[in-house]
Chains A and B, each alone.
Chain A
Amino acid sequence: MRAPVSWIREYADLPAEATSEEIARRLTALGLKLEALEVGGADITGPLVVGRVLTKEPELQKNGKTINWCTVDVGPDLNAANGTGEADQGVGIVCGAHNFEVGDLVVVVLPGGVLPGGFAISARKTYGHISAGMICSARELGLGEDHDGIIVLPADAGEPGDDAFDVLGLREDVIEMEINPDRAYALSLRGVAREAATAFGVGFTDPVDRPVPPADDAGHPVVVDDPEGCPVFVARLVEGFDPTAPTPDWMARRIVQAGMRPISLAVDVTNYVMLETGRPIHGYDADKVRGALRIRRAEEGERLTTLDGTERVLSAEDLLVTDDSGPIGLGGVMGGETTEMSSTTTRVLVEAAHWDPVSMFRTGRRHRITSEAGKRNERGADPATCEAAADRVVELLTAHGGGTAAPGTTVVGAPPARRVVRMAADLPARVTGMAIDEATTVAHLEAVGCLVERDGADLVATVPLWRPDLTDPFDLVEEVARLVGYDRVPAVLPRPVGGRGLTRPQQLRRRVGRLLAGAGLVEVVSMPFVGDGDLDALEIAPDDPRRRWVPLANPLSTEQPGYTATLLPGILRAAARNVGRGADGVAIFETATVAFAPEDGLEAPIYGVDDRPTPAELATLEAALPRQPQHLAVVLAGPREQPGWYGPGRDADWADAIDVVRRLADDLHVELEVAAAQVAPWHPGRCAELRVGDTVLGHAGELHPRVCAALDLPRRTAVVEVDLDALLAAAPEVVVGPSLSSYPVAKEDVALVVPAEVPAAAVERALRDGAGDLLESVRLFDVYAGEQVAEGHRSLAFALRLRAPDRTLTDEEAAAARDAAVARAAELYGAHQRS
Chain B
Amino acid sequence: MSGPNTEYDPVEVTPLKAEQVAAMRDEALAAIAAAADLEQLKQVRLDHAGDRSPLALANREIGALPPQARKEAGQRVGQARGAVAKALAERTEVLEAEHEARMLVEETVDVTLPTARSRRGARHPLTTGAEKIADVFVAMGWEVAEGPVVEAEWLNFDALNLGPDHPARTMQDTFWTEPADNHVVLRTHTSPVQARTMLTREPPFYVVCPGRVFRTDEYDATHSPMFHQVEGLAIDEGITMAHLKGTLDHFAARMFGEGITTRFRPSYFPFTEPSAEVDLVCFVCRGAGGDEDGTTCRTCRGEGWIEWGGCGVVNPRVLRACGVDADRFTGFAFGMGIDRTLMFRHGIEDLRYMFEGDQRFATTFGSDL
Does B363 reach chain A (CB closer than 8 Å)?
Answer: yes
Q: Which of A294-302, A392-400, A496-504, A716-724 contacts B (4 or more CB under 8 A)?
A: A496-504
| Residue in A525, A583, A621 whose CB lies within 8 Å of B124 | A525
Residue in chain B with minimal CB distance to A500: B143
**B167 in contact with A588 (CB, 8 Å):** no
Chain B: CB-nearest residue to A555: B175
CA distance A588 to B247 in the complex (A): 37
Cβ-defined contact, B243 with A524, below 8 A: no
Pick from A204-212, A427-435, A770-778 the stretch touching chain B: A427-435
A492 to B225, CA, bound (A): 36
* A536 part of interface (Cβ distance < 8 Å): no
A570 CA to B204 CA in the complex, in Å?
40
Contact of B183 among A514, A606, A626, A640 (CB under 8 A): A606
Residues 525-542 of A, flagged 1 when their CB comes within 8 A of B and 0 if not, give 111110000000000000
* Contact yes or no, A611 B323, CB < 8 A: yes
On whether the beta carbons of A563 and B241 are closer than 8 Å, the reply is no
- Counting CB contacts under 8 A, is B329 at the interface? no
Expressed in whole angstroms, the minimum distance between the Cβ of A436 and any Cβ of chain B is 11
> Would you call B362 an interface residue if the criterion is a C-beta within 8 Å of the partner chain's C-beta atoms?
yes
The smallest beta-carbon distance between B247 and chain A, in angstroms, is 6
Q: Which residues of B contact A527 (CB under 8 A)?
A: 225-226, 355
Residues of A within 8 A of B267 (CB): 31, 33, 180
Q: Closest CB of chain A to B279's CB: distance in Å?
A: 10
Judged by a CB distance under 8 angstroms, whether A785 is at the interface is: no
Q: Is B240 a contact partner of A431 (Cβ separation < 8 A)?
A: yes
Contact between A30 and B266 (Cβ–Cβ < 8 Å)? yes
Knowing A487-B263, A606-B153, A609-B158 are in contact, say whether A522-B239 is a contact too (CB < 8 A): no
Q: Which A residues are in CB contact (< 8 Å) with B218?
A: 556
Number of interface residues of B (CB under 8 A): 102
- Residues A431 and B152 in contact in the complex (CB < 8 Å), given A30-B266, A611-B323: no
How far is the CB of A14 from the nearest CB of chain B, in Å? 20
Decide: A503 near B144, CB < 8 A? Known: A491-B249, A494-B234, A609-B320. yes
Q: How far is the CA of A432 from the CA of B152 in the complex (A)?
A: 32
Is A510 an interface residue when CB atoms closer than 8 A count as contact?
yes
B272-315 Cβ-contact flags toward A at 8 Å (1 or 0): 01111100000000000000000000000000000000000101
A490 to B131, CA, bound (A): 28
The interface stretch among A248-256, A408-416, A473-481 is A473-481
Task: Point out the residues of chain B lying under 8 angstroms from A31, CB to CB.
Answer: 265-268
Q: A578: which B residues are within 8 A, CB to CB?
A: 357-359
In angstroms, Cα B177 to Cα A494, docked, is 39
Are A494 and B243 interface neighbours, CB within 8 A?
yes
B186: Cβ under 8 A from any A Cβ: yes
B residues 217-265 in Cβ contact with A at 8 Å? 218-219, 225-226, 234, 236, 239-247, 249-250, 261, 263-265
Q: Is B317 an interface residue (CB 8 A)?
A: yes
User: Inside 8 A of A639's CB, which chain B residues have their CB?
Assistant: 118
A5 → chain B, closest Cβ, in Å?
21
Q: Taking CB as reference atom, which chain B residue is nearest A474? A: B273
Q: How far is the CB of A643 from chain B (nearest CB, A)?
A: 9
Residues of chain B contacted by A28 (CB below 8 angstroms) = 265
Chief secondary structure at chain B's binding surface: mixed
What are the residues of chain B within 8 A of A524 when measuring CB–CB? 124, 357, 359, 362
- Could you say which residues of chain B place their CB within 8 Å of the CB of A482? 266, 274
CB neighbours (8 Å) of A510 from chain B are 131
Q: Pick the contact of B158 from A358, A489, A607 — CB < 8 Å?
A: A607
- A519 vs B120: C-alpha distance in the bound complex, in angstroms? 8
Pick from A379, A433, A590: contact of B242, CB under 8 Å: A433
Whether A506 is near chain B, meaning CB under 8 Å from some CB there, is yes
Cβ-defined contact, A514 with B242, below 8 A: no
Assess whether A525 is in contact with B239, with CB atoms less than 8 Å apart. Answer: no
With beta carbons under 8 angstroms apart, the residue of A498, A577, A590 that contacts B141 is A498
The minimal Cβ–Cβ distance linking B3 to chain A, given in whole angstroms, is 42
From A522, A523, A552, A611, B177 is in contact (CB under 8 Å) with A552
**Is B67 engaged at the interface, CB distance under 8 Å to the other chain?**
no
Q: Is there a chain A Cβ closer than 8 Å to B367's Cβ?
A: yes
- A214 to chain B: closest CB distance in Å? 36
Count how many chain A residues have C-beta atoms less than 8 Å from C-beta atoms of the other chain.
115
Cross-chain pair count, CB within 8 angstroms: 312
Give a binary string over A620-635; 1 marks a CB under 8 Å from any B CB, 0 the rest.
0100111010000000
In the assembled complex, the Cα of A640 lies from the Cα of B154 at a distance in Å of 48
**B-side contacts of A502, CB under 8 Å:** 134, 138, 144
**Contacting pair A602 B357 (CB below 8 A):** no
**Which chain B residues lie closer than 8 Å to A607 at the CB level?**
154, 158
Asked if A501 and B118 make an inter-chain contact with CB atoms under 8 angstroms apart, the answer reads: no
Distance to closest chain B CB from A512 (angstroms): 10
Contact B131 A522 (CB under 8 A): no
Asked whether A644 is an interface residue with its Cβ less than 8 Å from the other chain, the reply is: yes
CB pair B141 A499 closer than 8 Å:
yes
Closest to B163 in A: A609
B113 within 8 A of A: yes
Beta-carbon contact of A492 and B367 below 8 Å: no
Q: Is A125 at the interface (CB under 8 A from chain B)?
A: no
Contacts A605-B183, A612-B199: A522 and B143 contacting too (C-beta < 8 A)?
A: no
Does B250 contact A493, Cβ atoms closer than 8 Å?
yes
Name the B residues within 8 Å of A234 (CB-CB).
Answer: none
The answer for the CA separation of A593 and B154 in the assembled complex, in Å, is 21
CA of A711 to CA of B201, assembled, Å: 47
Q: Using Cβ atoms and an 8 Å threshold, which residues of chain A touch B275?
A: 478
Tell me if A150 is interfacial: C-beta within 8 Å of chain B. Answer: no
Asked whether A586 lies within 8 Å of B321 as measured between CB atoms, the reply is: no
- Chain B residues in 8 Å Cβ range of A645: 113-114
Taking the nearest CB of chain A, how far is it from the CB of B224, in angstroms?
Answer: 8
Asked whether any CB of chain A lies closer than 8 Å to the CB of B87, the reply is: no
Chain A residues near B241 (CB, 8 Å)?
Answer: 431-434, 481, 489
Instruction: Flag whether A734 is at the interface (Cβ < 8 A).
Output: no
Q: Is the CB of A486 within 8 A of B357?
A: no
* Residue B142 is within 8 A (CB to CB) of chain A in the complex: yes
Contact A492 to B246, CB < 8 A, known contacts A181-B168, A478-B275 = yes
Q: Could you tell me if B178 and A518 are in contact, using CB atoms closer than 8 angstroms?
A: no
- Other-chain residue from B121, B140, B168, B171 in contact with A518 (beta carbon distance below 8 A): B121
Q: A492-B243, A517-B123 are in contact. Are A33 and B277 (CB under 8 A)?
A: yes
Residue A18 at the B interface, CB < 8 A?
A: no
Q: Which A residues are CB-close (under 8 A) to B131?
A: 510
A522 touches B118 (CB 8 A): no
Question: B293 to chain A: closest CB distance in Å?
Answer: 23
23 of the cross-chain contacts (CB-CB < 8 Å) are A33-B277, A431-B330, A478-B273, A482-B266, A490-B245, A494-B234, A522-B122, A527-B225, A550-B184, A556-B219, A563-B149, A574-B358, A602-B184, A603-B182, A609-B163, A611-B320, A613-B199, A621-B152, A621-B154, A625-B148, A625-B151, A628-B150, A641-B118
Instruction: Rank and list the top 5 A-B pairs by shortest CB-CB distance, nearest first.
Output: A574-B357, A612-B323, A433-B242, A31-B266, A433-B240
Q: Residues on A close to B: CB < 8 A?
A: 28-31, 33, 180-183, 358, 361-362, 365, 378-379, 430-434, 472-475, 477-478, 481-482, 486-487, 489-503, 506, 510, 513-514, 516-529, 550-556, 563, 570-571, 573-575, 577-578, 581, 583, 585-588, 590, 592-593, 595, 601-613, 618, 621, 624-626, 628, 639-642, 644-646, 649
Chain B interface residues (CB < 8 Å from chain A):
113-114, 116-124, 126-127, 131, 134, 138, 140-144, 146, 148-155, 158-159, 161, 163, 165, 167-168, 170-171, 175-180, 182-184, 186, 199-200, 204, 206, 212, 216, 218-219, 225-226, 234, 236, 239-247, 249-250, 261, 263-268, 273-277, 313, 315-317, 320-323, 330, 354-359, 362-363, 367
Known: A358-B165, A475-B273, A625-B152. 16 other contacts (CB 8 A): A29-B265, A362-B165, A365-B170, A490-B245, A496-B142, A499-B143, A501-B143, A502-B138, A519-B121, A523-B127, A550-B177, A552-B177, A554-B175, A563-B177, A593-B212, A602-B179
